[in-house]
Structure 1
Amino acid sequence: MPLSNKHPGRRRWHALLPWLMGLLPVLCGVGVMAWQSQRDMYQASEKTSRLVVAHVEHILDSLATAAQALLPLAGQPCAQLEVALRSEVTRNAFVRSANLVSDNILYCTSLFGEHQEAVSPIHYTDDRLWLMDGNSVTPGHALLVYRAGNAQRAALTTVDGDHLLTALRLIGSGQQLYLRVGGNWMGQDGIVHQGTPPASPSAAVEQASTRYPFSVHGGFATGKQAELISHQYPAVMALLLLLGVAAAGVCHWQLRRASSPRAELDRALQANEFVPYFQPVVRKGDYHWAGAEVLMRWNHPREGLVRPDLFIPYAEHSGQIVAMTRALMLHTAQSLAPYAALLEDGFHIGINITADHCQDLSLLEDCRTFLQHFPPGRVALTLELTERKLLEATPVALELFAKLHDMGVMIALDDFGTGQSSLNYLRQFKVDYLKIDQSFVAMIGGDALSQHILESIIELSAKLGLGIVAEGVETATQRDYLQGHGVDFQQGYLFARPMPLEDFLQALAARPRLL
């Protein structure tokens, strides 16, 4: 039922939505951090690759300078050149060895002096560089050879792979770096491989030298991005978690607010789901319909007709009952006014009000608007004051009651004898009717104490000159007892149950009019 149970599907959705809203800022933030970290990694890869390229170019500059200085000596007897070769090696920190070639024969080296070894220019990329996997002196140890000259005369200078390895390891700490020369490449393990270096899983870049035929390939290993995020953005991650918790909390609060009884009643009020039901009130003697009490019912779109005890107490507690009653009065007047000819002059229409209504003079305008829908004297409006909340005799309340009486609106105390302070109300306010609660009527012919109380209420009303209405009349015995004790009006299932407007109008039309 409304204000109590929820649909299972809606409960599951309401339970899931705060989690989704909490995850949303976290996922968005992580996405932004992932994008930013990927961008930073690309920038770091490009920067590192450029630094390695620059460092290797610096090494090759030394090799090229030494080779160019030795090239004019190529072809001369080796015995005359050993000092010159060793001098270049000694003066240059990067040059490991210097060699001379004549007619594709390496004939003089700084290590051995005279030497005979065939060399092939096809090993050299762009006729200048060869990344080789060692030589006869240091097999399996990387060497980078620079060649200056041609097939007839050439000078070769070499750099130890450790210098290259230092650049790859130190400059590119935490990154994957590979040096490629032609069809050979070397990684940070110092081993020369053939083919194409592997592409890094993240932020893979390639930086080629503009001066020498080599390139550097860089990037990051798998998982490096997550490590980078955890190390660089711990404060941001903490903030995202706080935002996620806050978003989830706000969403949960909004859902509770949107699905709260107050929100549901507001929605129903906007949708005009509160409709009037009419229960006739009969006069003593002929039991002819002298009026009707307008009861509020909730025509819920899913639950159907909702009992008033499920929503009226909460509406009174939350203060929404004032707006709901105003809407009900307007609905009743607009629906009943076109059929005013079916009503006898002075036909009583009872509307329930609470203590909240009595603290605002706007009730005067509501009553005036109601009466203006009918011909003068056709309807006698009675406000039935319920006693679930204590009504204080404030200046506003006293002024309101006085002006209501001036307007011809009558006041009845509903459920008399069971509420907050009925006797005190009789002393403080001008009241026209007492409505005997059905709990006393139900004891007629049974509980002697309740019957004595009922008789006392009837006697009190007579002494005060007040009209009296008995509610909850369900048996002929109760009807006859009340008739015998002079009760003015009776109301209950014995005469008619509360009915919608259409049924009420049909019943009015079918009843004979009194002349």
Structure 2
Amino acid sequence: MKRRLLLILAAVGAIAATNAGLFLFAQRSVQHELDSTAATLAKRVASVQGRARALADDAHRRWLAQQPQTNPCDDAFTASLRHLADSVPYVKGISLLQGATLACTSLPDVAQEQVDRMLGRLLVGDNYLPASALNFNSPGLVQYYPYADGFNVLSVLQAEYFLDLLGTQDPARYRQVVLRVKSTYLRSDRQVGPHLPVLAHEWGSAAVPGGAQVYVEASGTLWWQYVRDSVVTWNLIAAGVLWMLLGLCRRLTSNERAFDRVLRKAVAGRVIVPYYQPLFDLPGQGLSGVEILARWPLPDGRFVPPDVFIARAEKSGVIGDLTRLLIGRVIDDLPALRLPPGTRLALNLPPELLADEALFAYIEHWGHTLQAHRLQPVIEVTERSFVTIAQTDKINDVFGRLRDHGIEVALDDFGAEYSSLGYLHRFRFDYVKIDGLFLDGIGKRREVERVLDGVLNIASSLELKVVVEKVETPVQLAYLNDRKVGAAQGYYFGRPVSIDVWRTEAGGCARHRGGCDHSVAECEQERAINEASFPCPR
């Protein structure tokens, strides 16, 4: 329950963090679009202002060229000045000044009084003139270009052109677009004023060379579009993925529950049976023990992998019933096993099960039954089980109770996955079974042999009996004989077999294996002769 709660909290935290990141991304995306739009408009305004300035420079040069004439502002020059103004659609007119005095203009009906009014508006920082002040049909923006020679240019730009430019932006995406030219603010809703309107939503701005500024404000639609495209869309995708994962988890969980039901049925129906793998003393190779292994045969002749169903049995709580089943079957098989007196019969058991008093009593009964047949009962515990157990004294007490009933305790799979050196001094074992992992490099890699030599030396210094598992080749057997290892088991000697196979083959094989104290080559030759008449399982 606690793990599930932690997983839920972790998932909620991850989703919240992702959504916060997506929301910030949406905000930055809105700002990026506004900045980009403002910059684009700023470039167009800068181009307009640049052409207006170039037009004023051209008019100024033409005016200077007219100065030697008696009447420089004649009809021809006025016509050329008007043609020059008409060449740029957003320039309403051009007026040439000598100082502040009107010298010539392309605008009809413009007198000195109006020029004074324009210059007066510029002095107070306002360059916007309504249409009535200019005697025009539309308002204008006054641009003043002074020159060092005293001949200055006064241009009137059509405000309508800039209002149209701002109005080209999609109102569904942008709530307001504002252009500031000096102290005049032109808005996309065709309003003009001396103040910047309140921008309620996200907005971006871009400066224009020459003192202008463009402001773009996002609409609620634009903001929601980015939020929808990022936050909502990705949440829908995440919800879909999560739904599929939950479905997969339910399916896997359902498969596990189904497997558990079949496992319980197999235990109740006594389908799972014990298999027996012999263990031999070295170097004589006389049968000294048998390990009991659980096997689950299927109707088609295949087997459920032991590591699969035993792990599920431990997780689902069926391991106790499975252990009782195996113990009962072993007791039934004792007459058919025909084991020599003193043979050790080893049963694998997780240490956690030893806390079950009812099962412990059943193990005691199993031990007494084996002893009545003059056999030595052994409980093998794997080092992986000890990793999760910190109650050292309690485990040692359990091991002591087993010994009080004549049952030996062995540490199985020594060195398979975790460091077991701590277990060797915390717990008392009668012997250790060294995992065959250490044998893989024998005869191939010297460093592997050094590691195994060290493990064997540690066991010897602690006066522990040693069994090496998974012996498969004569080279490995020769190595163990050279190190005077006490016992071994593996496919080289025999595979795990059912009681029926043991009765007909493995028992005979065990009898043939005893008494060989010659060299490896001579033992192999003797074994070949014996197995020709009585095949041994490999």
Q: What TM bracket, shorter-length normalisation? A: 0.3 to 0.5
Higher helix proportion (structure 1 or 2) = 2
Higher strand proportion (structure 1 or 2) = 1
